[in-house]
Amino acid sequence: MSQPLNLFVHQALSQGLSREQIAQALEKGGWSPEEIRTALHAYVDTDLTLPVPRKSASTSPKEAFLFLVLFSSLFTWMFAIGATTFDLLNLWLPMPGEGERLTYLISSLRSGIASMLVAFPLFLFMDHLATAEARRNPGQRISPIRRWLTYLTLFAAATALVSDLITLTLTFLEGEITLRFFLKVSMVAMLAGSAFAHYLLQLRKDETEPSQTGTSRGKGRLLLAGAVGIVLAIAIWNAGSPLKAKLYRQDKQRIQDLVAIKDRIEAFNQRQGHLPARLEDLNREPDSFVEHATDGVTRQPYHYRVVDPTHVEIGATFALPSSRTRGEQGFWNHEAGPATFCIEVKATPNI
């Protein structure tokens, strides 16, 4: 703020002139409304005859840490809730040919859940600290760091809204709008629009009501926590329990081991011209060496039996049945418990 401007406002207030009179005089002097507002805001409006200076906003490392963590956690959980909603829509409304992507969707869903479980409580805690600090130090509401990050959030939200509308319009013109696409666009618009409206309103309140209480913010936090909690509950229900996820990973490893054994049997048959009598025979050659011939959990050897000169039977004991929701379709489908798979190995003459 200009030193002559600040000195003039201080002297004018000391002489008992009203803020309206001071503003009109400064306008005639060519000062902009923003400069006038900033100069007048530097002094508290009281009944005292002397102007009371308002405490200026600090730019301490503590304040920078507080707002950087606050806004970074905000971006993290908002992105996570959007990504989680997208994954849920992809699971509920799959498109033709997306069966092989369902395993990835479950993994992505769990990633979004983890991000929300960590980032959202951190955001609420940091927002509570920032609100409490603003009550103790009203000047923090006009902190340069806070205002820069708030305007950055407004920019990101506005960019998301514009991009969302462009995508919706383009897809509409191409005649490819589906229910899933419309719900995704609506979700982005709701998240970006609510963030934009909230922080724009907060900026205006900070300028006009620097001493507002945190009652309304407390109610807002409860509503927000409820909405995020609903999304989390639905996502956790669809992703399955941690125990089920662990069992699924174990079964997936068993399938990978059986596929590797199948490949090694084919390599052995190509080199030797006959099928191995036992799995241990595969380890005679480097090309057919089996790294995992036993179950990594039960430590029991995988099932192996020669059916005829061109067929073998391999198998394992699985904890869970195959699930179509995870994209497990085809040859390696299985139920819970022991399962065997008959592999055809074409005879190869020994050269």
Q: Tens place of pLDDT for every residue, the chain, 351 residues?
A: 577 888 888 888 888 888 888 889 988 888 888 888 878 877 887 777 788 777 665 557 878 898 999 999 999 999 999 999 999 998 888 877 665 566 678 888 999 999 999 999 999 999 988 888 877 776 666 678 888 899 999 999 999 999 999 988 988 888 878 899 999 999 999 999 999 999 998 888 766 654 444 556 678 888 999 999 999 999 999 888 788 888 888 998 999 999 999 999 999 998 888 899 999 988 888 888 898 999 999 999 999 999 998 999 999 999 988 865 444 457 888 899 999 999 998 765 554
In sequence order, which residues have a C-beta less than 8 Å from that of residue 263 and are 6 or more positions away? none
- The angle at the Cα of 49, spanning 45 to 54, to the nearest 5 degrees, equals 35
**pLDDT of 4:** 83
Task: List the beta bridge partners of residue 171.
Answer: none
**pLDDT of 211:** 46
Q: Give domain limits for the chain.
A: 3-53, 61-240, 244-344
Distances (CA, A) of 200 to 153, 156, 165: 10, 13, 20
Written as six digits, the tokens of 141 are 């509401």
Written as six digits, the tokens of 201 are 């309103």
CB 262 within 8 A of CB 231: no
Residue 292 CA neighbour count, 13 Å, CB half: 15
**pLDDT of 349:** 54
Q: How many CB atoms lie within 10 A of CB 233?
A: 10
Among candidates 249, 227, 282, 292, which has minimal Cα distance to 82? 227
Residue 321 per-residue DSSP state: -
**pLDDT of 84:** 95
Written as six digits, the tokens of 193 are 């629009």
**In angstroms, rounded to a whole number, what is the distance separating the alpha carbons of residues 189 and 62?**
34
The owner of tokens 């490392």 is: 61
Task: Specify the 3-state DSSP secondary structure of 177.
Answer: coil
3-state helix/strand/coil string of 99-139:
HHHHHHHHHHHHHHHHHHHHHHHHHHHHHHHHHHHHHHCHH
**pLDDT of 328:** 47
